[in-house]
Structure 1
Amino acid sequence: VYERDSSSVRVIFDVDEGRRVAIARVDFQGNTHFTDEQLAAQMHSRPEGFWWFRSGEYNDDRIAEDLRQNLPSFYGKQGFVDFQVLDDTLMVHEGTGKATLVVHVSEGDPYRIGSFEIVGNRRFSTDELQTFYPFTGEQRTGLLGIKHRQIAYFDDQLWQDATRKLQTLYYNNGYIYVNVRPDVLRRTGPDGKPVVDLRWVITEGQPAIVSHVEIRGNDVTHDRVIREAIVMVPGDVFRQDALIASYQRVSNLGFFNQPMPFPDTKPANEQGDIDVVFRVSEKRTGNINFGASVGQGTGVGGFLGLDEPNLFGQGKRGRFQWQFGKNINDFDVSFTDPAVRESRISATVGVHNTRVRYVIGDLGRLRRRGARLQLGFPVFGDNYTRLFASYGIDQQSFTGSSTNSAFSSAFRCNDCVRSTLGLSLMRDTRIDLPFPTAGTMVQFGLSQSGGLLGGSGNFQRVDVEGHFYAPIGSLGNAATSNVKFVLGFSTRSGFVFGNSPFFEQLFTLGGTQFFIPLRGYDEASITPFGYDPNASANGASPNAFGKAFFTMTGELGMRVSQMLYLSTFFDAGNVWSRPAQFDPTRLFRGAGIGAAVISPLGPLGIDYAYGFDRVDVFGRPKPGWKLHFKLGNFF
C-alpha cells in the first residue's frame, strides 16, 4: 500500500491460520508382526487422548524423527534388518481439523543369528573377546524339564553397543588406534529364512605411550599438586579409563572453575605416542566469613571463619573457625598437608576449645579443649584408598542442668581426660564435591579410649560409614550442564564396647543439631526404649543414649551447582542399649525435602521432614512434620 504524498510503502500480510491440526489416529499399512497400537507406542507423535499431555499435536520434525529413527530402531531390535517406511500421508478433515496419519511400511522377515567369528586379535585371546558377544543363545527349561535353545534374533543396537565396549577394552590398554569393523553378512538359511553371520575384524595397531603430560593455566596452584591427582605419568601405556580418572581427580581438587575442559590428546611422534594436555582456570578458593547465625539449640549468635584449601598454591589447607553466642563458644584451628615433604603421606593437626550449653534436650553445659594429630598413608599404592592413624587428647568438664538431675548424676565429669588412639580405612571415589554426583565413600574406623592410654574410662568404639551416588540424568548436554540429578544412598552404624563416661561418645538419634541426624524427629527423641515424646520439653534422660546405632538415607537430589543442592529424602534409624541388641529391621522412619547452600557467609541448610513413627505420651501414633534448619558454621 503506497502512502499518499509519500515515498514510503506499508506491507500488509493477510494470514489465514485455518484450523489447528491434531492427529486423531495413526493407520499403519503393511504391518503383520506388530499391531498399530504397538507401533504407535514407539512414536513421539501419538494420537490425541483424554489427558492433556496427549494433545496429538502435529509436528513435521517430530514425525520425521519417528519415521526415520524410532520405528526403524524398534524393528531393528526385533531382527527386522530390512524394515523400511515406504511413504506417509496426512489426511485432514477440513471441518474438525482431525487428522489421520497413514504410514506404509515394509517389514521384511526377522534375521536369525548365524555364525560368529573374531579376526585379527593378538593382544587378547578369542575367549576373552567372546565375552563381549551379545547374542549367546540362552538355555530355557520347559514345563517338563526339557531344555531347549531359544532362537536369537539380530539386534543392531546390541551389536553396536557390544562393538563400542570391545573398543573401550582396547582403549583402556593403550590401543587407541584400534579399528574394530563390525561386519553383518546376510544370507539365506537352509530353511529359506534370512540369517546374518557376524564378524569382528580387528586392526589393533601399536599401543600408545604417554610421552608428556602438560598442565596449562595454573597461575597459582603448583604443578606438583595437580600431578599428584593425575594417575598417568610419562612412560605409561595410555589408558582411556586413567585419563577419565585423572580428569575427575583434578576437578575434585576444588581449585579450578567448573566445568573443567576435558584433557586434550595429541600425537607426540611418528610412533603414535601421545601428549596429554590439562587446561585449568584458577578460581578464588579461600574465603572469610563472618556475621550473625541462628540454629536450633544455639540461639542467636555470630561466627567468624577463615578457610583456605590451597595455601600458597601447594594444596595445603588452613582453617580457623569461631562460633559464639549465648549458648555456644566454639573455637577450632586446623592445618592439613596432603603431601608431607612432597611424599604421599598426609597430616592434619588441630586444636579446639568448645563451650556449649545444650538447650535442646536440657542436658547441661559441656566444656572441651584439646588437640588432635592424624596421619594418612596410601594403601597398596591405590589412589583412592588411605589408612589413617590418629591420636587425640581432650580435657572436658560437664555440668548437668539443674532441671535434669538424672542426666547430671549419670554423666557429671570435672576435668576428665579422654585419650584416644584410632585407626580408620577409607576408600573415596566421589566426584563433584561438595555435592557428589557419582562415586562411593566407604570408611571403617576403630578407636581405643582410656585404659593403657590413660585418662578416664576404658572403651572401644567401632564406626562404619558408606555413601553411594549414581548419576541418573542432567538438564541439557550431560557434558556441559551444571544441573545434574543423582540417586544417593548413605548408611552409618557405630558400636561402643566397655565403659564410656562421656555421653557424646555414645549414640542418640533425632534432629540435626547435636546428635546423630534423623529428620522428622526432635533432638535426642529416639532412644533405646523407643520414641520419647517428652524429649524436647523435659530434656533427655540418661537412658536416651545407647552403645549401638544404625541409620540409612536414600535421596533423589538435584545438584544445581557447586553451591546449591536440592533433595527429597527418606531416613530410617534406631539406637540400642548394647551392641548385642543391634537389629536393623526395626527402624524409625522419616521423609521430606531439603536444600543446602554454600554461601559467602558459610553453609546454610533447611529440611522439612515427616516423622512416620512418632507417638504421643500415651503411646498412640502421632506422626507429624518437623522443620530443621541451620545457619552458620556447618550443615
Structure 2
Amino acid sequence: MKINYLCKMIKKIGIILVMIFAGAFAWAQDTDTIYNLEVDYNAPVIYEVAALKVEGVKHLDKEVIKQLLRISVGDKLQVPGDDISLGIKRLYRQGLFSDIKLIADKVVGNQIYLTLEVEERPQLTTINFTGIKSSEEKKLIEKTALSKGGYFTANLKNRIKLIVQNYYKEKGFNNVGVTFEQTPDPDIPNAVGLKINIDKNKVVKVRDIIITGNDNLSDHKLIKAMKKTKEKNWRYFFRSKKFSEKEFKNDRVLLIEKYNEFGYRDAKIESYKIEEVEKNRINIHLDIDEGNRYYFNDIQWVGNTVYSSDFLTRVLKISKGDIYNKKLLDDRISNDDDAVSNLYFDNGYLFSRMIPKEIVKGKDSIDLEISVIEGQQATINKVIITGNDRTHEHVIRRELWVYPGDLFSKTKIIRSIRELANLGLFDPEQLQPDIQPDPENGTADIVIPVVEKPSDQIELSGGYGGGTVIASVGLKFSNFSIRNIFNKEAWQPLPTGDGQTLSLRIQSNGKYYSQYSFSFIEPWFGGKKPNSFSVGGYMSNQTRLSSSYAVSSVNPGEDQQFRVWGASIGLGRRLNWPDNYFTLSNSLSFQRYELENWGGFYQFTNGSSNLLSLSTTLARRSIDNPIYTRSGSDFSIGLQFTPPYSLFNDTDYSALDDGHQDKFRWVEFHKWTFKGKIYTPLSRDRKLVLYTGTEYGFLGYYDKDKRSPFEGYSVGGDGMSGYTAYGSDVIGVRGYENNSLTPIGEDGRRTTGNLYGKMTMELRYPLSLEQSATIYVLGFAEAGNSWYDFEDFQPFNMYRSAGVGVRIFLPMFGLLGIDWGYGFDDVPNQPGASGAQFHFILGQQF
C-alpha cells in the first residue's frame, strides 16, 4: 500500500516537473527567437543588425523602447541567444505591453533587418472612485500615485487593492471590497477610463474586551489606558468603538506603559486573540503577565560637575522607596517644565544628555544610575526672524528674551514665544522656534518663523438695556504706526508695523443715544523699555430713552438730556520683582457728567458732576495665548480714587438734599478691584482646558453722605456695554436678565451696586484653531451678586447658573458668541429674571 502511494506521488511530481519545463521551454521559444526566421538551437548563427524598426507604438517613445531592448544597428546578434530573450523580458517587465514580437524582415548574407512589433496596453484617460467621499478619493489618489496617462497593469491593480484595503483598515473597515472596470475611451484610440469601485461594508467594532491575568489593575483602568481600542460600554459612550489593527498595536504598548506607571516593570501581554463573534463585531482577548511590582532604590549620578548629586536628586523628586514609574522618571528627567535636564538647558548646556540605567536588585528593587553628559556651554550665535511681512523687525525683537552672545536658555526661548503670541499679531499655533545647534563651535542659531495674521478688526457689538437696543461699530488697528502717519507710501491702507493700537468707536441706538470714543496705546514708549503709554477720550449724549425713565417729579414733556465727556492718560511698566510677569499701570482720568431733567436713576436730576481720579493696577499675566488660552494665569488688583474733597472743607453734606449742586459738583470715592483667572490644560494634547475665574469690586466713600452716584456696578446678563454711558461697570452673570442682580434701594429705584462678587468655571474645547477662525465650545457654571452696602456683603449668597456656549474669533470681526444659561435662583420681585436665558456676545470676552 505504501509502495502504491509512493508511486502515485512520484507520478504527480513528474507531471508537475514536465509542466514547469514545458512552460520554461515555451517562454524560451517565445523570447529568444525571431519570427519569420528558421533557427537551429544546436547551431546558433551570428548576424549583424542592419536595421531595427519599431511598430505598433501609439503613445511611447520608439527610441526609449530600443534602449530597453538593448539591440542596436551594427550589433553582432546571436540567433538564438540570450540578448534577444533578455531584451524582450525587459520590455515585458515594464508592464506597458500586452504583446511583443521581434520579426526578421529579411536576411542578406550575414546582415539581418529587424522589426520590433509591440502592442501597447491601453492608456488611462480618466480615473474615478465610486462608493466613497470626495475627500477620501483625493487621499487615495495621493497614496496610489494614480495619474492620467499611466497604464493599468496587473501589478498596479494588486497595488491599488492593497493600498485601499490598508487605508480603510486603519479606519476600522476590515472587509473592504475593491473591483475595477475599464471602459474604452471613444475619443482616444487604445485608451480606457478606469473606475475603481469600493465597497467599505460596515465598520468592524469591538463588542467586548476580555482581560485575564490582571490581578492588580482593573479592567477599566487598562481599557482606559488604550487610546483608540474601546469596547461597547456606557463609560466610553462618546468614544469610537471601531477596530483598527494599527491602533490596536499602539494601544497594546500604551497598556504596558500603564503597568509601568504602577511599578510593574516586567508586565507583558502573554497572548491576544481577536474573535469574530458576529458579522462586523469582534471580541478581543488579552492575557496579561503582570510580573513583580518594583520600587526605586538607590539613585546615583555619574559625570555631573555643574550640580551636586544631592541637588539633582532633590530636583528629580524621586526618592528611595517610591513605586517604580517609568513615565514619571522620563518626565522628571526631560519632559516636565521643571525637569532636571532644564537646569542644564537653562544654563547654556544645550548639548547635555542624561541617560538613566536601571539595575535590578533582588525581586522588587531598581537602582538608578543616571549618566550626565554635560558637554560644553553653548552660546546663541544668531536670532533669525522670518515671515514678518508687515510687522517691523524691531517690534518682534524687543519682545524676545534671547540675544546673540547670550548663553542658551530653553526657558527664555519659551518666554519669547509666549510674548510674541500675546502680541496678537501672529498665529500662535505656528510659533515654533527652530533651534539649529553647531556642536563644533559650541553655538546655536535660533530661527523664529512668524506667520502674520490679520490683526485689525471691525468691532460689532450690541446689547439691550434701558428699553432700547444699543449697537456699536468700531475700528481697531492693532499694528498701527503713528510715526509713518505722514508717509504716503506707508498708507496701505493705513500705516502699520509698529505694534501700536488705535481704536475708534461709535455707539448708538440711532435716535436717543450716541457715544464717540478713541484710544491710542504705545506698548514701548520711547522704544527702549516695555513702558506703555496710553491716551483716550470719549463723549456721549443721551436723551430720554423711553417714558419709563420719566418720573413724576420731572415733566415728560420737557427736554431730558444726559451728556458725558472725558479723557484719560496712562503709563505702565514691566516689573522685575516679584518676577518679570508683573506690570504696574497708572492712569489719570477726568469725566464730566451733565444732567438736564434726568430723573429716575441718579440722586439728582439737574446739574453737573466732575470726576478727577487716579488709578493704579498691579497685575501678573502669564497666559500663553490671548485667543485660546491653554495655560497660565492672569491676576490683577486695582485701586481708583479721587481726592477726598469732603475732608478739605467744612460742608455738612448730610444737611444737603440729593438735588443740591454742591453735593455732587466734585465726585469722590475709592474703588478696589480684584480679578483672577487660571487656565489649566486637562488633556495630553492641551486642548481641553479648565478656566476658573473670580472677581470682586468695592466702591467706597470718604463721607457716607457724599456717596458717588457713578462708578458702581450693574450686575447680571450678558455683560455687554450698553450701560457705560451711565458711568457704571457692567458685570455679566449668565442665566439672568441684564441688570437684574443690581440692588434696589428702599425707594424702589434701581441703583448700582457698590460691591459685587463673581465666580466662574468653564470647560473649553476647540473645534478649530486655524488662522482664519478660532472656534471653541464651552460649558460653564457661574455665580454672582451685588450689594449696596459693605454691611450687606454675603460672599456665599450668590445667584447660581450653568449652561453651554460657543465662541468664534474671526480676525476681522473679533469675538462672536452665544450662550444658553439657566439661572437656578429666583430674583426677588423680578419674575422671569432667572431661568433659561440666551446671551449674545459680540466683541467681548467674559
TMscore range, shorter length: 0.7 to 0.9
Structure 1 residue 278, shift from structure 2 partner: 1.5
Is 1:333 the counterpart of 2:526? The answer is no
1:555 is matched by which residue type in structure 2? Answer: E
Q: Does the 8 Å contact 2:386/2:448 carry over to 1?
A: yes
* Closer, same or farther: CA 288–199 of 1 in aligned 2, 3 Å: same
Gaps of 5+ in 1: 138-150, 479-483, 533-539
Q: Does the 8 Å contact 1:21/1:92 carry over to 2?
A: no
Residue correspondence of structure 1 range 562-577 to structure 2 within 5 A: 563-577=774-788
Q: Does the 8 Å contact 1:361/1:524 carry over to 2?
A: no
Structure 1 residue 132, shift from structure 2 partner: 3.8
Residue correspondence of structure 1 range 309-458 to structure 2 within 5 A: 309-312=478-481, 313-324=497-508, 325-344=510-529, 345-356=531-542, 359=545, 366-380=562-576, 383-399=580-596, 404=600, 407-408=601-602, 410-451=603-644, 456-458=666-668
* Closer, same or farther: CA 82–222 of 1 in aligned 2, 3 Å: same
Q: Distance in 2 between matches of 1:495 and 1:37?
A: 50
* Closer, same or farther: CA 593–298 of 1 in aligned 2, 3 Å: farther
Q: Distance in 2 between matches of 1:215 and 1:96?
A: 57
Find the counterpart in structure 1 of residue 394 from structure 2.
224
Structure 1 residue 473, shift from structure 2 partner: 4.0
Q: Does the 8 Å contact 1:411/1:502 carry over to 2?
A: no
Let me know the Cα RMSD of the aligned residues. 4.1
Is 1:260 the counterpart of 2:443? The answer is no
* Closer, same or farther: CA 502–594 of 1 in aligned 2, 3 Å: farther
1:510 is matched by which residue type in structure 2? Answer: G
Where 2:246 maps in the other structure, the secondary structure is helix
Q: Distance in 1 between matches of 2:570 and 2:625?
A: 25
* Closer, same or farther: CA 430–411 of 1 in aligned 2, 3 Å: farther
2:621 is matched by which residue type in structure 1? Answer: D
* Closer, same or farther: CA 522–121 of 1 in aligned 2, 3 Å: same
Find the counterpart in structure 2 of residue 181 from structure 1.
355
Residue correspondence of structure 1 range 515-594 to structure 2 within 5 A: 515-528=730-743, 541-542=748-749, 544-559=751-766, 560-561=768-769, 563-594=774-805
Deviation per residue, 1:514-553 (Å, 9 max, x gap): 33222222333224469x9xxxxxxx95463332221122
Q: Distance in 1 between matches of 2:765 and 2:219?
A: 38
Q: Distance in 1 between matches of 2:193 and 2:503?
A: 72
* Closer, same or farther: CA 472–158 of 1 in aligned 2, 3 Å: closer
445-454 or 229-238, which moves further after superposition?
Answer: 445-454
Deviation per residue, 1:352-389 (Å, 9 max, x gap): 10124685995575321021110112223764322112
Find the counterpart in structure 2 of residue 81 from structure 1.
265
Structure 1 residue 563, shift from structure 2 partner: 4.7
Where 2:682 maps in the other structure, the secondary structure is strand
Residue correspondence of structure 1 range 174-213 to structure 2 within 5 A: 174-188=348-362, 193-213=363-383
* Closer, same or farther: CA 303–578 of 1 in aligned 2, 3 Å: closer
Q: Does the 8 Å contact 2:804/2:820 carry over to 1?
A: yes
Q: Which structure carries more relative contact order (alpha carbon 8 Å, separation 6+)?
A: 1
Q: Does the 8 Å contact 1:252/1:431 carry over to 2?
A: yes
* Closer, same or farther: CA 298–235 of 1 in aligned 2, 3 Å: farther
Residue correspondence of structure 1 range 161-180 to structure 2 within 5 A: 161-164=331-334, 165-180=339-354
Q: Does the 8 Å contact 1:23/1:57 carry over to 2?
A: no
Deviation per residue, 1:8-56 (Å, 9 max, x gap): 9999999999997865563636x66667787666556566568995997
* Closer, same or farther: CA 387–175 of 1 in aligned 2, 3 Å: same
Q: Does the 8 Å contact 1:24/1:56 carry over to 2?
A: no
Q: Does the 8 Å contact 1:133/1:162 carry over to 2?
A: yes
Where 2:759 maps in the other structure, the secondary structure is strand
Give the structure-2-normalised TM-score.
0.62
* Closer, same or farther: CA 204–568 of 1 in aligned 2, 3 Å: same
* Closer, same or farther: CA 39–547 of 1 in aligned 2, 3 Å: closer
Where 2:376 maps in the other structure, the secondary structure is coil
Structure 1 residue 505, shift from structure 2 partner: 1.0
Match of residue 626, structure 1, among 821, 837, 840: 837
Aligned length: 593
384-393 or 551-560, which moves further after superposition?
Answer: 551-560
Is 1:305 the counterpart of 2:489? The answer is no
Greater strand proportion? 1
Match of residue 328, structure 2, among 149, 158, 168: 158
Q: Distance in 2 between matches of 1:214 and 1:84?
A: 48
Find the counterpart in structure 2 of residue 141 from structure 1.
none
Residue correspondence of structure 1 range 84-103 to structure 2 within 5 A: 84-90=268-274, 101-103=284-286
* Closer, same or farther: CA 385–571 of 1 in aligned 2, 3 Å: same
Where 1:503 maps in the other structure, the secondary structure is coil
Structure 1 residue 253, shift from structure 2 partner: 1.3
* Closer, same or farther: CA 467–362 of 1 in aligned 2, 3 Å: farther
Structure 1 residue 161, shift from structure 2 partner: 2.1
Q: Distance in 2 between matches of 1:488 and 1:227?
A: 31
265-274 or 216-225, which moves further after superposition?
Answer: 265-274
* Closer, same or farther: CA 218–107 of 1 in aligned 2, 3 Å: closer
Deviation per residue, 1:212-260 (Å, 9 max, x gap): 2222222322222111211222232211111111012112212234533
Q: Distance in 2 between matches of 1:9 and 1:209?
A: 61
Is 1:611 the counterpart of 2:823? The answer is yes
* Closer, same or farther: CA 267–596 of 1 in aligned 2, 3 Å: closer
1:83 is matched by which residue type in structure 2? Answer: A
Where 1:591 maps in the other structure, the secondary structure is strand
Q: Distance in 2 between matches of 1:586 and 1:124?
A: 53
Report sequence identity in percent.
26
Q: Distance in 2 between matches of 1:11 and 1:593?
A: 47
1:577 is matched by which residue type in structure 2? Answer: Y
Where 2:349 maps in the other structure, the secondary structure is coil
Residue correspondence of structure 1 range 445-524 to structure 2 within 5 A: 445-451=638-644, 456-473=666-683, 484-498=687-701, 499=703, 502-511=708-717, 512-513=719-720, 514=723, 515-524=730-739
Structure 1 residue 279, shift from structure 2 partner: 1.6
* Closer, same or farther: CA 293–209 of 1 in aligned 2, 3 Å: same
Of structures 1 and 2, the larger Rg is shown by 2
Q: Does the 8 Å contact 1:178/1:202 carry over to 2?
A: yes
Structure 1 residue 181, shift from structure 2 partner: 0.9
1:337 is matched by which residue type in structure 2? Answer: E
* Closer, same or farther: CA 213–356 of 1 in aligned 2, 3 Å: farther
Find the counterpart in structure 2 of residue 140 from structure 1.
none
2:532 is matched by which residue type in structure 1? Answer: S
Where 2:765 maps in the other structure, the secondary structure is strand
Find the counterpart in structure 1 of residue 304 from structure 2.
121
113-122 or 261-270, which moves further after superposition?
Answer: 261-270
* Closer, same or farther: CA 82–609 of 1 in aligned 2, 3 Å: closer
Q: Distance in 1 between matches of 2:244 and 2:681?
A: 32
Match of residue 314, structure 2, among 131, 146, 157: 131
Q: Distance in 2 between matches of 1:229 and 1:472?
A: 29
* Closer, same or farther: CA 358–155 of 1 in aligned 2, 3 Å: farther
444-453 or 433-442, which moves further after superposition?
Answer: 444-453
Q: Distance in 1 between matches of 2:776 and 2:546?
A: 27
1:354 is matched by which residue type in structure 2? Answer: S
Q: Does the 8 Å contact 1:49/1:55 carry over to 2?
A: no
Where 1:231 maps in the other structure, the secondary structure is coil
Where 1:246 maps in the other structure, the secondary structure is helix
1:367 is matched by which residue type in structure 2? Answer: R
Q: Distance in 2 between matches of 1:15 and 1:216?
A: 48
Structure 1 residue 420, shift from structure 2 partner: 0.9
